[in-house]
Amino acid sequence: SAISDEYLSALNRWTREKTVYAELETRALIVATYESQIFIDAFRDEYARIYQLPRGDERVGKNMLGNGEKGFEEFLFYASMPDRDANDFAREDSVWDIFLLSENYERFYPDEIREVTAISPVIKKFFPYVNPYYGKFYSLRFACPEKGVGESQKRLKLVFASVLGRVELEWGY
């Protein structure tokens, strides 16, 4: 069954993309989806629709890469770069530094950066920007105080910084 326009619209609304260039050469392409509650609901609805499952079915939640747990902010991101050795976000000594900036410039570092190595047909359909031949797909999780930075604030900025360049992806709603 084809992915619905409703889901693709939600994916588009919660996804940001940026390419870093140096001397007309691409250094890095990063595409990230913020797993807001609205996006998680859209994913679950679409998964349940395709597989004809009741909305509360446990198989729907199992297929989310993040779980929408309160107190956490989660992102999925795809990174592609000509220097494959630099695509090392999940390594402890990564060339990249990742952090989340809240509206009042409070900085949060990820509690978990996990490479998603099993790129299934489900992932490729639900996240059409993922191309395992050119890049890697990651899950990113931040522990944030109270009920989560993104849900309680108007702006959220995800920053990727390295010697290769800087990528800032912003969500404002």
Model-level pTM?
A: 0.90
The SS3 of residue 165 is: strand
Pairwise CA distance, residues 45 & 53, whole Å: 9
The SS3 of residue 123 is: helix
pLDDT at 153: 52
Residue 15: its H or E element: strand 15-22
23-81 confidence digits (pLDDT tens): 888 899 999 999 988 998 999 899 999 999 887 777 776 666 665 566 788 999 999 99
